[in-house]
Structure 1
Amino acid sequence: MTTNRLSQLWALVAERAWPRGASVSLEDICGVCAAEIPSDGVSLTANTSPQDLVERLCATTPLAREIEELQATLGQGPGVAALSCDGPVLTPDLHDATPRRRWPAFAPAAVQAGLGAVFVFPLRTGAVQVGALSLHRAGPKPLTDAQLSDALSLADMALEIMLDGGADTCVEDRPLWNGFAAFHDQAEVHQAAGMISAQLDVGIDEALVRLRAYAFGHERPLADVARDVVRRRLKFTPDPQTD
């Protein structure tokens, strides 16, 4: 990545923010990424907990939103794998056997949703990963060297904005504080897991697995099921004992 190209990317991000009269935002980063790197969706997520839960900060298309929700529900996928990776998780063809072995629930569900390739770039500062930038393609296709370089630079730019307390903006109509979205949905997921833990007399990790399984089995967003549990519209009961 040359200094000139990095300057060009920052200029493109600034151009998107200029009409608002505001500082650059994460949505500007997503917009430039989608414009400069051919894709069928770009998303930015923040790491919110040790239970492989991530909060979607922004997504440019319905496909990107659906894939992030799918990973949140299943607890697996390239975005989840990136939580423990030092470098990008590049999956140019989800139809291959390797991603299906690695993510046996996510890969076929993502293909059915219309995803053919996904590239995830961790946003890391020191030993801490704070989020990820993901590019989604409907068809299997690798990134070119130039596209990979741009994506790495845009990921670094997104990290800089996320860590900058003075950075402006809302993402998906929610206010940012210190560069992060208000994690209301994920707070409800954690609260619901605690309630299910008490209802079933199991650990938090097992309760989260049960919550995810229910959401996936009923084809509902994880946050919606968690909200029903928290508001006591849905109660989990122990499995009947068998002799």
Structure 2
Amino acid sequence: MNDLLAGLERAVGPEERRLWAVRCAHALGLEGIAVSLRQGAELVWFSDDISARLEDAQFTLGQGPGLTMDFDDTACQATDLDTDAGDRWPQFAEEARSLGVRAVFVWPVRSGGAQLGVLTGYRRTPGPLTCRQATDGLLVADALAVRLLDWRPETDVSVDGPGTAGAVDLHRAEVHQATGVLSCQLGVPLEEALVRLRAQAYASGLPLHDTARAILRTLPP
């Protein structure tokens, strides 16, 4: 694990970061991992498409283990989405199962006493983490916290647009833009505009990004 964590410093470009994230996921016994900041408001790091879609589902629905506030020094473990998540996060559990995900694990990404976000991993088979995997997940989360605090847009490799695995960029830039558009059009606060955007995406069955892009396309050139 120490060699793997040291490799984060050498992961400069988007593809290198993605491969590093994949190796971390596998070392933790997971299929994929992702990092979101500010209660899921921005996805900044992910290893694969399923990881990104899980984070988008939590953000759209406003529920899921990554939005749980009572983190301590242990992972939040939803070890079987068929049995232990239906009451707490029914819509998220249904969405995750539709992606073939059966278990989800979340670690806090922190600097000192400040929580920056969460590291979320998933598995296609149910069951808990081992003690070693749970502890190693905290080490990975701490390493990513340092990387995120050190990251500066002007020194990082530029990435065009959302959806690039392993990148630290504004994955939901269009969502934030569409939220501002709705806020102006409807004369409501940004928080309410975001709730309405989420509800529109959920009702239509479209991804949140596609819903946001449709709103932005209605703007005059």
Instruction: Specify if TM > 0.5.
Output: yes
Matched, 1:141 2:127: yes
Runs of 4+ in 1 over 6 A off after TM superposition: 171-175
Question: How far apart are 1:141 and its partner, in Å?
Answer: 1.2
Question: How far apart are 1:43 and its partner, in Å?
Answer: 1.5
Counting aligned pairs with the same residue, the percent is 36
**Cα distance per residue 1:152-188 (max 9 Å; x no partner):** 111111111111247975597679xxxx9332x5343
Contact 2:81 2:103 in 1 (8 A): yes
**Cα distance per residue 1:207-243 (max 9 Å; x no partner):** 212111111222222123223223326xxxxxxxxxx
Residue type of the alignment partner of 1:35: H
Of residues 7, 10, 27, the one that matches 2:2 is 10
Matched, 1:199 2:185: yes
Aligned residue number for residue 56 of structure 2? 69
Of residues 134, 140, 154, the one that matches 1:154 is 140
Change (3 A) 1:172 1:116: farther
**Cα distance per residue 1:138-157 (max 9 Å; x no partner):** 11111001111111111111
Question: How far apart are 1:29 and its partner, in Å?
Answer: 4.7
Could you say what secondary structure the match of 1:107 adopts?
helix
Contact 2:44 2:169 in 1 (8 A): no
Q: Distance in 2 between matches of 1:127 and 1:56?
A: 21
Change (3 A) 1:223 1:41: same
Q: Distance in 2 between matches of 1:162 and 1:94?
A: 30
Contact 1:42 1:60 in 2 (8 A): yes
Aligned residue number for residue 77 of structure 2? 90
Residue type of the alignment partner of 1:216: Y
**Cα distance per residue 1:118-154 (max 9 Å; x no partner):** 0011111244322221110011111001111111111
Residue type of the alignment partner of 1:40: E
Aligned residue number for residue 39 of structure 1? 30
Bigger relative contact order (CA 8 A; separation at least 6): 2
Residue type of the alignment partner of 1:34: A
Change (3 A) 1:154 1:117: same
Matched, 1:80 2:67: yes
Could you say what secondary structure the match of 1:147 adopts?
helix
Contact 1:192 1:227 in 2 (8 A): yes
Following superposition of structure 1 onto structure 2, how do residues 109-188 of structure 1 map, counting pairs within 5 Å? 109-165=95-151, 170=157, 181-183=168-170, 185-188=171-174
Q: Distance in 2 between matches of 1:170 and 1:10?
A: 25
**Count of residue pairs brought into register by the alignment:** 211
Contact 2:21 2:47 in 1 (8 A): yes
Question: How far apart are 1:15 and its partner, in Å?
Answer: 4.9
Q: Distance in 2 between matches of 1:21 and 1:126?
A: 25
Q: Structure 2: which 5+ runs fail to align?
A: none
How well do the aligned residues superpose, as a CA RMSD in angstroms?
A: 3.1
Aligned residue number for residue 5 of structure 1? none
Aligned residue number for residue 229 of structure 1? 215
**Cα distance per residue 1:7-50 (max 9 Å; x no partner):** xx2322445765x788xx75465233223122221112232xxx
Structure with higher Rg: it is 1
- TM-score (structure 1 length as normaliser): 0.73
Q: Distance in 1 between matches of 2:149 and 2:50?
A: 27
